[in-house]
Amino acid sequence: KAGVTQTPRYLIKTRGQQVTLSCSPISGHRSVSWYQQTPGQGLQFLFEYFSETQRNKGNFPGRFSGRQFSNSRSEMNVSTLELGDSALYLCASSFRSKTERLGQTQYFGPGTRLLVL
Amino acid sequence: KNEVEQSPQNLTAQEGEFITINCSYSVGISALHWLQQHPGGGIVSLFMLSSGKKKHGRLIATINIQEKHSSLHITASHPRDSAVYICAVNYGQNFVFGPGTRLSVLP
């Protein structure tokens, strides 16, 4: 099976702009989670989508949003970019059934490295 | 709020040494994960634990639910094990990560 793919791999934006990142999960995986990694804060959980619904959300402002499509592909959007949004954004997919709680083995994509100038 | 701590922060070992990385957390969890991140950012999930012990090749992970503590052991370490090892826990509907342990294995 193909692994988790993320596009683009690298992105440069300026403050105030918005950005959309894409994640394609492993075939058959219905859960997609997004994470932000920065040198200062480390890895932080953004949100999880399952069957097109946001199931869990971390402690991030409303500028960070996402969605999931019927084919389980997911997008993450950050509006009004700030310098502090510069980070590696990782998505991960898992084979999680509807009744299982968050916590199954995650398969990570290579990440999108975002630089905000 | 669940705090996840790891020790040591940095670790340098000689090839062949036995390595232990520790993780402790403050609140009851549903699962604990050990992740490996290589330079360049790629993350691989090594183990998911909710109790007991798991082994995969030269890697062993244990968890003590009562003491809220987990350890990752690497036997016969090799330079290709050099990476950052991250402990992460699930509690409630959240996912909290430790700061990571940077391991360098010298030939």
B61 touching A (Cβ < 8 Å): no
Q: Of the candidates A43, A56, A108, which has its C-beta nearest B94's C-beta?
A: A56
Per-residue exposure over B12-22, b if at least 16 CB sit within 10 Å of its own CB, e if not: ebeeeeebebe
What six digits make up the tokens of A105?
Answer: 């083995």
Q: What is the pLDDT of residue B6?
A: 97
A112 touching B (Cβ < 8 Å): no
What six digits make up the tokens of A58?
Answer: 């971390």
Residues in A closer than 8 angstroms to B30, CB to CB, are: 101-103
Distance from CA of B105 to the nearest CA of A (A): 22
C-alpha to C-alpha distance for A91 and A45, rounded to whole angstroms: 10
- Distances from the Cα of B61 to the Cα of A9, A14, A31, A51, B24, angstroms: 32, 43, 25, 32, 13
* Per-residue confidence band for A99, with pLDDT thresholds at 50, 70 and 90: low
At residue B98, φ and ψ (nearest 5 deg) are: -80, 170
* Per-residue confidence band for A100, with pLDDT thresholds at 50, 70 and 90: low
Least reliable range by pLDDT among A98-102, B38-42, B90-94: A98-102
Q: What is the pLDDT of residue A97?
A: 65
Nearest to B86 by CA among A88, A59, A22, A53: A88
Distance from CA of B93 to the nearest CA of A (A): 6
A45 touching B (Cβ < 8 Å): yes
A102 touching B (Cβ < 8 Å): yes
Residue A103 has pLDDT above 60, yes or no: no
